[in-house]
Chains A and B, each alone.
Chain A
Amino acid sequence: MPKKTPLSWLLLVRQKSRLIVATAGIAFADILMFMQLGFQSGLYDAAIKPHRNLDADLILINPQFRTLFSVKSFQRERLYQARALPEVKEVSSIYINTGQWRNPETRESRAILVWGVEPGKPSFKLPEVEQQLSQITLLKTVLFDQAGRPEYGTVADWLARSPQGLEVELSDRLLNVSGTFTLGASFAADGNTIVSDSTFLHLFPDRSASNIEVGLIQLQPGSDPVVMQQKLSAFLPKDVRVLTVEEFANVEKQYWAEGTGIGFIFGLGAIMGFIVGIVIVYQILYSDVSDHLSEFATMKAMGYSNAFLVRVLITEALILAVIGFLPSMVLAMGLYQITYSATLLPIFMQVDRAITVFVLTVAMCSASSVIAMQKLYQADPADIF
């Protein structure tokens, strides 16, 4: 069998300007999709980063707890009840509240999330935090999140210059910054601070020690978290909810995805990119078929079937999909980097997103070729004789 002439490819490379326009158009559509999906997942990732870094097997929360943005508390007593089960190794409590951070330089106030943890017990899985927990046992000391918004001040720099500590104002109380950690800004908070439970109660005198926001449960080695989750749910009163860490993260994610327009807005943005892509590729393929209508009709007269020509068209679309996708991926990575430096939003190229966008590109190009195909059926060889 003779090797087949690569018609689709030749059709494209013999029309350089059309190829360039098509590539640019598809790349544009792809970048649009990459940015929308990237923003979306970056925002979600930022929102659930604290949850994912909690050092626990199971989490206890108020059933009404939806988001860090407006926390709900429950009786600390429930956490101690959980200890009655032999599989529970250890429990620890976390207080959460929003404080006002005053930038030591500009004197401007800005809301910041305050985490009150028990210094001797597990809280965050972040090595920086674990190493510095002993420092905050001292009353009125605080760990500062250096990945928060720059408006809080260049705390890390100032701290480096004054090793004995840096005095700051949090919710009108003077605290000493003993170190920094890295978590990052999210929807719920522009920044984070970690203090001990005693410091927390000192900062917020109207908070009672017996009501906490998050309970962390550590299990004995070898016990299955899912089984224990059911056991604990059955065991504890219904005024608390037992979740795995991932489920806890999903509660937060769901809040932002459903409770706000975020999922819709970015989803719509991605769909727009998709539609723009279809229109562009369709335009290209349609004019390609129109310009070569008599040539395609000639091929039919020679004995080539409609199905063969349809394949040529689809192949052309798929080649365009690949040619347009590759540069868009590189450009999107650059734009992600720029976005990250500007907003500290954790937005990076991910394999599954790249696959998603590529699949969408292929779908986009196939859809366009199916529409453009109608034109191909008009190429009637009886008319060109």
Chain B
Amino acid sequence: MATAELGAARLGPSRAMRRVVGAVTFLLPLLCLFLLWPVVTTAFDVNPRVFPGVGMVWAALVESVRDGSLFAHIGASLGRVLVGTALGILVAVPLGIAMGVSSGISTFLTPLFRFFSVLAGIAWIPIATLWFGYGFGAITFVIFNAVFFIVTYNTLLGVSAIPMRLRHAAASLGAGRRAMLTEVLLPGALPNIVTGIRTGLGFAWRGLIAAEMIATNVGLGYMLFVARDFYRTEVIVLGMIVIGALWLLIDRLLLAPLERATIERWGLVTRS
């Protein structure tokens, strides 16, 4: 007990330190780009129709926050992502586990899921609009689709990578089918599942923006697309910054820590 606490205390500050250093090294290049921007636009006297100045984008930000339109777009986009992702995970995880337990089925289906993982997201937009029309259905389908194939594939991979001896060990300790699922298969595949969600969401996010340009009248993708019609480069750039920043926030603050928590803690190494 005492040694364990000692160990944790010893690790504590260095781990926090590493996190700070990690954040700085991540943010510094972005900051540089941000500082370079006004220098370049003023030095070369760039036409705002080609690329806006910092001040213009700032004004666009203030305006869209004040009239609430920015939050409406963000809300719509995040809502679609949430619904599509939740549905995708809900269907993909049980299916992936069911497929992964049988090595015959997983060998057969792996190439199919690899194929569809490559197509995930954007490539489905045209057919999604034919099936669901323009609006919520088509966009959510694109997100669901991106998450579903990648998460199913990763779950399947995760389950089939669980060493047989762990399933044997659980069975000889009295685990039934249910306990095998909750105590062995699910936690065993979890690092892969999380990696799958992270990759799938990346595809989903890109797919979302693309789909919103075509199939709706609210959302970040729509915001970009409409601004283009009015030559509002400052709104386009604002939208791009928001899209990138939101994704980085989701990925770095939500998904990466989740992945780290499972993989590092358990000493497991997974590949997506």
Q: Are the chains A and B members of one assembly?
A: no
B positions within 8 Å CB-CB of A: none
A positions within 8 Å CB-CB of B: none
